[in-house]
A = this chain, B = another copy of it.
Amino acid sequence: MSKVYNFGAGPAMLPEPVMEKIQQEWLDYQGMGVSVIEISHRAKEFVAILEDAQALFRELSGVPDNYRILFIHGGARMQFSALPLNLAGRKSGKRCLYFETGNFAKLASKDAKEFCNVEIAASSAETNYDRIPEYDPAIFTDDVSYVHITGNNTIYGTRWNQFPETGDVPLVADMTSEILSRQIDYSKFGVIYAGMQKNLGPSGMAMVIIREDLLGHADAKTPILLDYTAANKDNSLTNTTNTFAVYTTKLVLEWLKGQGGVAAIEKRNEAKSAKLYAVIDASDYYRGVAHPEHRSIMNVSFNLPSEELEAKFLKEAGAAGLYALKGHRNVGGIRASIYNPMPMAGVDALATFMQEFEKNNS
């Protein structure tokens, strides 16, 4: 079929050169005569892939040396349980502060409740999560085990522009939908985690980046494969890891390096999202979901004048090769997910389609 641009929120598109490379070496990894998914996780060839992925992530992200890079089964949602199991015990009161900035932020606090004393630091529920809420920094007291934020809110298309200054309280961020999309000062965080299926690779696994001094606090009832200390000790090979995900992520990181790294991709991501926001802002037809000051550069969510027009938009966009633009059921409408791999040409095609659709349907 003709060219398709995939705006899916995740599992999302991967870079075309990565997909082609996987296809090329699928039946014979580096002359071994077997596929990369058919070799042991303890084979030297696979361990090299794992270590390359870690080294590339460290190089691209600039994460300091006193942070460990772990691969853990299950995606970000598994971390919603793993995080409190590993970190709540830092303080006897197990007070954990959660910012409620959207659907996944809420789920993170909900899943944590069995393992710690969850307190909602602030919420933007009142404005249907169209922004990052105001808060009082005085809440970050020394008896708090950690503070949790969701860096980028996939459904509503918002993000933190200024991260909270939490002082000695570890700041934890779910960066699933924006990892490596913008430059971040990792030293401000205690833990960053990200499901892979948006900017890193395929679904089923998360990267967890943790400051070394935060290891060693896991609850005794932590399943061993969710225990950050065990994962660190075994270099993420406590059991058979998801070898396909680690391999693909390594290729994505190599691709990102070839694109000029995070600084370069951030500029491109700014330019990509700016094009879509420009169409929205130039029109009374499209209404952006996110407050302009809190807009994401990864997910652009918007509505049309009616649900009927939204259905027509989705149908015609699909026919034009603009795939998976349907908004999440919580907000409806349209969502364009434009992660690192989305080329400018895809955004241009969508912007043009939006303008023409408005002209033909006003």
Using a CB–CB cutoff of 8 Å, the interface residues on chain A facing chain B are 1-4, 6, 8-14, 19-20, 22-23, 26-28, 31-35, 37-41, 43, 73-78, 80-82, 85, 111, 114-115, 195, 197, 202-205, 220-221, 223-226, 238-245, 321, 323-324
Contact = CB atoms under 8 A, between A and B. Distances in A.
Contacts of A74: 73-74, 225, 239
Interface of A is mostly: loop
Contact of A8 (B40, B204, B242): B40
Which of A11, A20, A22, A243 lies at the interface centre, i.e. has the most chain B CB atoms within 10 A of its CB? A11
A26 B18 CA distance: 11
A82 B221 CA distance: 11
Copies of this chain, tallied across the complex: 2
A20 B23 CA distance: 10
Contacts of A40: 8-11, 324
A323 B204 contact: no
Given A14-B38, A38-B13, A39-B8, A240 B195 contact: yes
B38 A11 contact: yes
A243 B33 contact: no
Given A85-B223, A111-B223, A241-B204, A12 B38 contact: yes
Contact of A34 (B28, B225, B323): B323
Contacts of A81: 223-226
Contact of A242 (B20, B39, B204, B321): B204
B241 A203 contact: yes
A31 B1 CA distance: 7
A26 B24 CA distance: 10
User: Top 7 nearest A-B pairs by Cβ distance?
Assistant: A204-B242, A4-B33, A81-B223, A77-B239, A73-B74, A23-B26, A203-B240
Given A26-B22, A195-B240, A244-B202, A75 B78 contact: no
